[in-house]
């Protein structure tokens, strides 16, 4: 009985309702101007500890930045999937910022079918952080949709500092300069689609993080952490495996990467200097999830 109660408490904490602050953020508001590019930002449900996996807060920031981009209409969705699926109709881009693996919010068959219909229609996909992680039976589809899939047979993951010394020439990288992201979470050594993938950013990874035989065989190699994908049917996808640590939205180059990537995926012109954005320390503290966990010392007998 104690174990059941503890499980119920943990589940309740991990799936907490929106905070009063979050409830002030407009959700699933359809644009009234059909000429605007609808960008649907899907924020996953509550996950991890405060300051990590702040999916709602991150998507709310992106919505504010995108509102200032001419020709764009961002729409924010909470809890991993729209309550009104009409939100997805005619979307130029669907961005997924959520937990991966068995926690993916679109594994239910009707949702999976809707994702496939979006892919078939050429809708752009942006996938951030753990959203690229899937079970082995879904990996082929992930490569078709997103250009990549994280699998534990060769893939590695963990938290460490990453330094990007080289910025390849690509529309997504406009305005960017070498930068460093501290204490972020990363997935690398992905399975990539055979055609259509262009690495956008790569960085050396700590050799201590190379846990699989394939990763160890490539010690010292700069690993792709962001990529652009031209799908066979003309649709585009963009992925970045960072964005674990919410504080790193303060890094302008991360914001440029993601916002430029959204525009590129929507087949819109990326400004020569990249998409401008600003964020204050106060803004970074807004719209965090309510995360309440039992202390580590708590035990069940």
Listed as own residue / partner, the contacts of 22-26 with beta carbons closer than 8 Å and 24 or more positions apart are 22/56, 22/60, 22/78, 22/287, 22/289, 25/56, 25/60, 25/63, 25/76, 25/287, 26/76
The pair of three-digit structure tokens given for residue 120, joined into one six-digit string: 């078939």
- Please report, in tens digits, the pLDDT of each residue of the chain (301 residues total): 443 343 333 333 444 589 999 999 999 999 999 999 999 999 999 999 999 999 999 999 999 999 999 999 999 999 999 999 999 999 999 999 999 999 999 999 999 999 999 999 999 999 999 999 999 999 999 999 999 999 999 999 999 999 999 999 999 999 999 999 999 999 999 999 999 999 999 999 999 999 999 999 999 999 999 999 999 999 999 999 999 999 999 999 999 999 999 999 999 999 999 999 999 999 999 999 998 754 554 443 3
Q: Which of 265, 275, 268, 269 is nearest to 93 (CA)?
A: 265
Neighbours of 296 (CB within 10 A): 6
The string of DSSP letters for the chain reads: -HHHHHHHHHHHHHTPPPPTTGGGS--S---S-TTSEEEEEEEPPS-SSTTBS-HHHHHHHHHHHHHTSTTEEEEEE-TTS-SSGGGGTT-SEEEEES--GGG-TT-SHHHHHHHHHHHHTT-EEEEEGGGGB--GGGHHHHHHHHSEEB-TTT-EEEEEEEEE----S-GGGTT---EEEEEEEEEESPEEPSSSEEEEEEEE--GGG--SHHHHHTTTPEEEEEEEEE-TTS-EEEEES---BGGGGG-HHHHHHHHHHHHHHTT-PPPTT-------HHHHTSS--------TT----
- CATH code of 2-284, in short, is 3.40.50.880
Residue 16 pLDDT: 57
Residue 72 pLDDT: 98
- Say if residues 151 and 233 touch (Cβ distance below 8 Å): no
Strands 93-97 and 37-43, sheet pairing: parallel
CA-CA distance, 277 to 281, in Å (whole number)? 14
Give this prediction's pTM: 0.92
The pair of three-digit structure tokens given for residue 215, joined into one six-digit string: 């990763």
Q: What is the largest CA-CA distance in the chain?
A: 61
Residue 47 pLDDT: 93
Q: Secondary structure of 145-205 in the HEC alphabet?
A: HHCEEECCCCCEEEEEEEEECCCCCCHHHCCCCCEEEEEEEEEECCEECCCCEEEEEEEEC
Residue 9 pLDDT: 39
């Amino acid at each position: 009985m104690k174990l059941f109660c503890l499980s119920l408490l943990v589940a309740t904490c991990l799936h907490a309702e929106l905070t009063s602050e979050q409830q002030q953020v407009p959700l699933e508001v359809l644009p009234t101007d059909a000429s605007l590019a609808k960008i649907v930002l899907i924020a996953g449900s509550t996950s991890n500890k405060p300051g990590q996996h702040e999916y709602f807060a991150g998507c709310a920031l992106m919505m504010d930045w995108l509102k200032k981009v001419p020709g764009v209409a961002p729409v924010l969705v909470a809890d991993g999937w729209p309550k009104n699926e009409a939100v997805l109709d005619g979307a130029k881009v669907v961005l997924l910022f959520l937990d991966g693996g068995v926690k993916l919010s679109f594994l239910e068959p009707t949702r999976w079918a809707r994702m496939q219909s979006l892919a078939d229609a050429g809708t752009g996909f942006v996938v951030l952080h753990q959203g690229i992680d899937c079970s082995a039976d879904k990996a082929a589809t992930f490569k078709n949709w997103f250009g990549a899939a994280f699998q534990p047979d060769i893939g590695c993951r963990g938290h460490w500092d990453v330094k990007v010394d080289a910025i390849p020439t690509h529309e997504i990288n406009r305005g960017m300069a070498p930068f460093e992201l501290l204490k972020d979470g990363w997935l690398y050594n992905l399975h990539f689609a055979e055609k259509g993938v262009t690495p956008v950013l790569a960085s050396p990874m700590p050799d201590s993080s190379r846990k699989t035989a394939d990763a160890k065989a490539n010690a010292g190699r700069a690993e792709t952490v962001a990529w652009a994908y031209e799908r066979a049917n003309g649709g585009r996808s963009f992925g970045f495996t960072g964005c674990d640590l919410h504080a790193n939205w303060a890094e302008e180059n991360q914001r440029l990467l993601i916002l430029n990537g959204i525009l590129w995926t929507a087949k819109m012109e990326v400004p020569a200097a990249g998409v401008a954005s600003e964020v204050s320390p106060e803004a970074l503290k807004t719209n965090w999830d309510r995360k309440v966990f039992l202390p580590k010392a708590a035990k069940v007998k």
